[in-house]
Chains A and B, each alone.
Chain A
């Protein structure tokens, strides 16, 4: 038995032992950490590679190209030049930019902030309430909202082109029942139309998140409030809404980001028109690059988009602080 610690009569144990020189065989911490983590780092490489190829690479490429006069075809496609800040200078003077930014703002505020957010919250409250009451139609309504969400975008666009048809469309038929209309939806109220469709498509996300959040509010809170004599309205204002506040900020940021990037839906419905009436920044970047063949300037617009989106994403990370 070579062991002495603890055996000794006068081993002053709770007090640290005096260090008798350097400990035997120090094991380098950094090498140990590397040994532990190298397999996991290897496991992340396929993902890192694909993300670099299709996210980081294009973003860098876009920033670089925004400093050139690169074109889609013709002589400037191969022999493009570095033009410095010229594209950005042009961007500031671009007469269409204020229109496009304003359209994006209206689209985001109308369909995401007012539409999906408010309707999503309303649907969540309605379904949660109806579920408590045990109404049988509840699952059907829930499924209907989800259906619109899972539906591929191109199909949604097509369905709503028909819905909005001036002569035969269901929207105008419905208005006809109450002696209104007909409205030339996509011609005279194009922004309202795309907003309606985007609300139709995106309400499910906000609704799902709010439904999930409503379930996390402990029922004891409501029971306690009832005992204290609070009516339904009081309970809603004092307990339901405050409990949803944090999640509401996140939902708002989420739907804002997803709506900001909306492209296919608008393209199928109006393709930005008539004129520039529904041309959001996403469509403007695309049309500049592919219809006007100016990839350099198109990239400049895309960089502006990324910058705006980054602000929202940073806010999202700040608020949500996801656990890593």
Chain B
């Protein structure tokens, strides 16, 4: 039955792609095709039978592959090898004497535990708040019927393209006036706000694909609009909520600009801020020790990558709409 709800629209671009292409159960056909070796392998057998390339073409494609892999993976190869080296240099080298000590030093020398706790609290709270807010707003925007709706929707899109670096000065001033600096609340609210424009559109796309008769049935069965949203529509839009939750968590986990301007007390520092300072050698008499910062980087990046690649099918579709730079 789910399959009948899916309205697939034609090619769209940028911001528009993700919000308008809802991922509901059974939407497999619309998901990107390159997803893991198994699927590609299946297609490979079919495709190879259909039309194979010559050895020259094979060589050219794989030359390009090698160049791409080198370019895109080398910085990660360095990060990981450096993190396990006793004394790392800027060169990618297999650690001669692999050690886990760096990871311990990270906690001892950079108050990484506090930063980790702050990041987890802020990211989780941002995720919950963002998901609820955009689920409500996306549904409302999807169902609202009045003429000014176009302006509101375009306004939200416009905000999404607004560079944070242009508003960080006023945000700093505003947060100072409101006493939102160095507080969980300030960081949670600002991280939520950052993600709202895009995710509201994303959720609107999901709810556009949910047929109206579902909520109408619940209203007739006696439910209020709010309860219907909570009991019927949220469960139906679960894949969309997953995308919104994942993306808002990732974004809050990675965001550093707002933390830089809103936090100057070390007990409020988050992981990205701690990393940022460590990488710049702030608050230290010694020069930057690559292996320690690399170890912190591994600890910082690992959860993000694990989360992203575990849910990549959903996330890729969602992330396609991100247009703002950090």
Write the residues of chain A forming the contact surface with B, with a CB cutoff of 8 angstroms: 33, 36-37, 39-44, 46-47, 50-51, 53-59, 61-62, 65, 70, 123, 126-127, 129-163, 165, 167-170, 173, 200, 205, 208-209, 211-213, 215-216, 243, 246-247, 249-251, 253-255, 257-265, 268, 282-283, 285-286, 289-290, 295, 298-299, 302-303, 305-306, 309-310, 312-313, 316-317, 319-320, 322-324
Contacts and interface: CB of A to CB of B under 8 A. Distances in A.
A140 to B, nearest CB: 7
A250 B11 CA distance: 11
B11 A61 contact: no
Contacts of A170: 74, 78, 90-92
A51 to B, nearest CB: 6
A137 B90 contact: no
Given A133-B51, A250-B16, A312-B161, 11 more contacts: A40-B143, A50-B193, A51-B156, A59-B167, A126-B64, A134-B47, A254-B13, A268-B280, A306-B166, A309-B161, A320-B12
Nearest to A135: B61
B37 interface: yes
Contacts of B189: 50, 53-54
Contact of B153 (A55, A264, A303, A322): A322
Given A41-B144, A165-B90, A170-B92, A257 B65 contact: no
B171 A58 contact: yes
A305 B166 contact: yes
A47 B196 contact: yes
Interface stretch (B95-103, B108-116, B236-244, B251-259): B251-259
Contact of B170 (A39, A132, A162, A302): A302
Chain B residues touching A, majority SS? helix
Given A258-B324, A302-B166, A309-B162, A324 B52 contact: no
Interface string B44-61: 111110011100011001
Contacts of B144: 37, 40-41, 44
A156 B43 CA distance: 34
Interface in B1-56: 9-17, 19-20, 32-37, 40-41, 43-48, 51-53
Contacts of A40: 139-141, 143-144
A59 to B, nearest CB: 6
Contact of B75 (A160, A167, A250): A160
A138 B34 contact: yes
Contacts of A316: 14-15, 161
A215 to B, nearest CB: 7
B232 interface: no
A213 B48 CA distance: 23
Contacts of A298: 169
B136 A46 contact: yes
B190 interface: yes
Contacts of B74: 163, 170
Contacts of A36: 145
B305 interface: yes
A182 to B, nearest CB: 12
10 contacts: A53-B174, A131-B40, A134-B40, A135-B44, A144-B73, A152-B272, A247-B12, A261-B165, A265-B326, A283-B165
A200 B167 contact: no
B279 interface: yes
B300 interface: yes
Contact of B15 (A133, A153, A249, A320): A320
B165 A285 contact: yes
Contacts of A309: 161-163, 166
A291 to B, nearest CB: 12
Chain A residues touching B, majority SS? helix
A260 B152 CA distance: 25
What are the 6 A-B residue pairs with the smallest beta carbon separation, nearest first?
Answer: A261-B163, A134-B44, A250-B13, A43-B140, A165-B90, A58-B170
B62 interface: yes
B170 A62 contact: yes
Contact of A134 (B14, B43, B152, B320): B43
Nearest to B224: A39
A251 B14 contact: yes
A141 B79 CA distance: 19
Contacts of B280: 268
A226 to B, nearest CB: 10
Contacts of A50: 133, 189, 192-193, 196
Interface in B234-289: 250, 253-254, 256-257, 260-261, 272, 275-276, 279-280
A57 B174 contact: yes
Given A134-B45, A170-B90, A289-B169, A246 B11 contact: yes
Contact of A44 (B72, B78, B141): B141
A200 B64 contact: no
Contacts of B45: 134
Contacts of A323: 9, 20
A200 B71 contact: yes
A70 B40 CA distance: 59
A147 B79 CA distance: 13
Contact of A211 (B14, B34, B69, B305): B34
Nearest to B277: A154
A170 B10 CA distance: 44
Contacts of A126: 61, 64-65, 68
A168 B279 contact: no
A12 to B, nearest CB: 36
Contacts of A205: 319-320, 322-323
Contact of A62 (B20, B72, B169): B169
B43 to A, nearest CB: 6
